[in-house]
Structure 1
Amino acid sequence: MLPVDLHAHSTISDGMLPPGEVVARAAGRGCRLFALTDHDDIRGLADAAAEAARQGMAFLPGVEVSVSWRRHTIHIVGLGIDPANPVLLAGLAGVRAGRDERAVRMAAELAKVGIPDMLEGARKFADNPEMIGRAHFARHLIERGIARDMKAVFKRFLAKGKPGYVAHEWASLADAVGWIKAAGGVAVIAHPGRYDFGRPTLNELIEEFKAAGGEAIEVVSGSHHPSDTERFARLAEVHGLMASVGTDYHATGEGAREPGVLADLPAGPLPVWTRWPHLQAIVASAAAHMDPASFPQTEPDQAC
């Protein structure tokens, strides 16, 4: 097992816990290296870093940028970023600016199928009003008894082609990677197993990502089935990418992964944390003392 989690969310985007509480929960499960990667916003990083210091846990500041690539929405994680970098801050502000308009359109689409008054209910779940998104609509639909759980909500209402789904133009791939690099970070393709396209298209995405300066891909993810791990490890090797890991934690009870601990990486690709030499010894020492029996494998979370 790996005491590393480099992809998790707080109330700054679409998580249910404040930044410090997410960090504390990860630390309580034995995590020794953690990154908070809220969608398109970095305002939780100071609180998360302070809590990580209190817990004696290594911390990488991060972000997850929403990207429009061809006809698809994908996510690019940035690790080890400078949260004060003006290029990154300006880029993220531009991405956030479109979220409220999309939320209004989502509420209108749901009203057309007989589900009125969704906008204010969704906003009630969004602690950060600039970051209202599908997860907040999903929680309100569950609250109203219209769907049983997150998986059912996305399947019936919020996935592509469903009544509440609204297409939106996010950042370009080149811009997202460029902002992360300008901030001194490493760009990572998030949860590749969630994207609705085949291996040839994924290869094309990776090549464009690398051409823009991208360096890593998530191999172990809370959004992947355990059987996917070897496949994405080999893909990382073939393309010369580093391997990252992350639970993609949003909320307890909404997915199958708690923050903080994941299955080990297969041999082959270089772990992304080797980019920061001072972190290698921390991870190696902690991993050597993990008890895998304490962290049984669970089914992947495909909801958010």
Structure 2
Amino acid sequence: MEMQGLCDLHTHTTASDGMQSPADNVRLARQKGLAAVAITDHDTVAGVPEALEAGRQYGIIVVPGIEISTRMKEKDIHVLGYYVDYRDPVFLERLEGLRRTRDERNGLIIAKLNDLGIPITMEEIKNRLGRPLEPDETLGRPHIADVLVAKGYAADLRDAFDKYLAEGAAAYISVPRLSPGEGCRWIREAGGVPVLAHPGLYGDDELVRSILEQEKPDGLEVSHSDHDAAAEAKYRDMAESYGLIPTGGSDFHGMRQGVVFHGELGGRTADIKTLERLQAAVQGA
């Protein structure tokens, strides 16, 4: 059954920690009957040009996006950006700095795993890709989790995160990050619209409210693969109370070790009218 007029506004590709190419995400969106798909890789826009070309081929609207890693009150906070200028040189330079921070964090995670008696190297992680890592692409914790599972230190991706990589787990590492407000500013200065991602994952609605009040994103990701119906209703009410654009997306990463991380592409969506509101926010900036 086609889902005409619906958009998945949160997907990842091989440019960061997704398993499918940008073109494959667009092709899958077409198969699912979606009207639009956003490419929102972590701290990189490297997958956007390929996705835009695929969008022309498949007749799918492709939204150039980003998911920026920030931190506030000892929690990792993600800020989505829509309609960013993926060619803006200042924005690209800033993202390169974020990727360097990510690389440093990955090295510290590997060192901590080694201290725990788990022999794992960056070379192993890169080799699991099966191809060279492109200059603007990023490696993330799912890549590390993949090797942990392959070497028998975890049963699956979720187990690897629960044991070693999630916040508070044995090999979790926190590094200095931007504030959510800085992430919002970077996105706006690149011509985009900032949206607070998956508020339900932070486990702290007071923190969410303080971000909305202090950092002032333009939207809130209401529909997400890890939000149940009650959470979605709560965050939709919250978005309305703050006058924010309610967005939705699957946070699709593809399948690793037989497990779909977060959700299937198209499993969580927003109406096409959401794009109109995001575009209006760009024009009104």
**TM-score normalised by structure 2 residue count:** 0.88
Matched residue of 1:179: which SS?
A: helix
Q: Would you say 1:155 and 2:158 are equivalent positions?
A: no
Instruction: Report the CA distance shift for 1:105/1:259 in structure 2 as closer, same or farther (over 3 A).
Output: same
Matched residue of 1:7: which SS?
A: strand
1:234 maps to which residue? Answer: 237
Q: Would you say 1:100 and 2:107 are equivalent positions?
A: no
Instruction: Report the CA distance shift for 1:263/1:178 in structure 2 as closer, same or farther (over 3 A).
Output: closer
Q: Would you say 1:48 and 2:51 are equivalent positions?
A: yes
Q: How does 1:154-173 map to 2 (within 5 A)?
A: 154-173=161-180
**Could you report, residue by residue, the CA deviation over 1:124-145 in whole angstroms, capped at 9, with x for unpaired residues?**
2454475122111001111112
Q: Hey, what's the Cα distance between the residues in 1 that align with 2:91 and 2:226?
A: 26
Instruction: Report the CA distance shift for 1:128/1:74 in structure 2 as closer, same or farther (over 3 A).
Output: farther
- Greater displacement, 138-147 / 128-137: 128-137
Q: Hey, what's the Cα distance between the residues in 1 that align with 2:90 and 2:246?
A: 26
Instruction: Report the CA distance shift for 1:172/1:52 in structure 2 as closer, same or farther (over 3 A).
Output: same
RMSD over equivalenced CA pairs, Å: 1.9
Q: Hey, what's the Cα distance between the residues in 2 that align with 1:116 and 1:123?
A: 15
Q: Hey, what's the Cα distance between the residues in 2 that align with 1:276 and 1:98?
A: 31
Paired-residue identity, %:
33
**TM-score normalised by structure 1 residue count:** 0.83
Q: Hey, what's the Cα distance between the residues in 1 that align with 2:115 and 2:96?
A: 31
Decide which of 182, 193, 206 is 2:200's aligned counterpart.
193
2:265 maps to which residue? Answer: 259
Q: How much has 1:90 moved relative to structure 2?
A: 1.9
Q: How much has 1:84 moved relative to structure 2?
A: 1.2
**Could you report, residue by residue, the CA deviation over 1:39-66 in whole angstroms, capped at 9, with x for unpaired residues?**
0000110000111111111111000000
**Could you report, residue by residue, the CA deviation over 1:11-67 in whole angstroms, capped at 9, with x for unpaired residues?**
100001111111111211111111100000001100001111111111110000000
Q: Hey, what's the Cα distance between the residues in 2 that align with 1:239 and 1:272?
A: 19
Q: Hey, what's the Cα distance between the residues in 1 that align with 2:202 and 2:14?
A: 24
Instruction: Report the CA distance shift for 1:256/1:68 in structure 2 as closer, same or farther (over 3 A).
Output: closer
Q: Hey, what's the Cα distance between the residues in 2 that align with 1:218 and 1:122?
A: 31
Matched residue of 1:245: which SS?
A: strand
1:206 maps to which residue? Answer: 212
Instruction: Report the CA distance shift for 1:244/1:263 in structure 2 as closer, same or farther (over 3 A).
Output: closer
Q: Hey, what's the Cα distance between the residues in 2 that align with 1:160 and 1:191?
A: 16
Higher strand share: 2
1:61 maps to which residue? Answer: 64
Instruction: Report the CA distance shift for 1:151/1:261 in structure 2 as closer, same or farther (over 3 A).
Output: closer
Instruction: Report the CA distance shift for 1:54/1:99 in structure 2 as closer, same or farther (over 3 A).
Output: same
Counterpart contact for 1:30–1:261, Cα < 8 Å: no
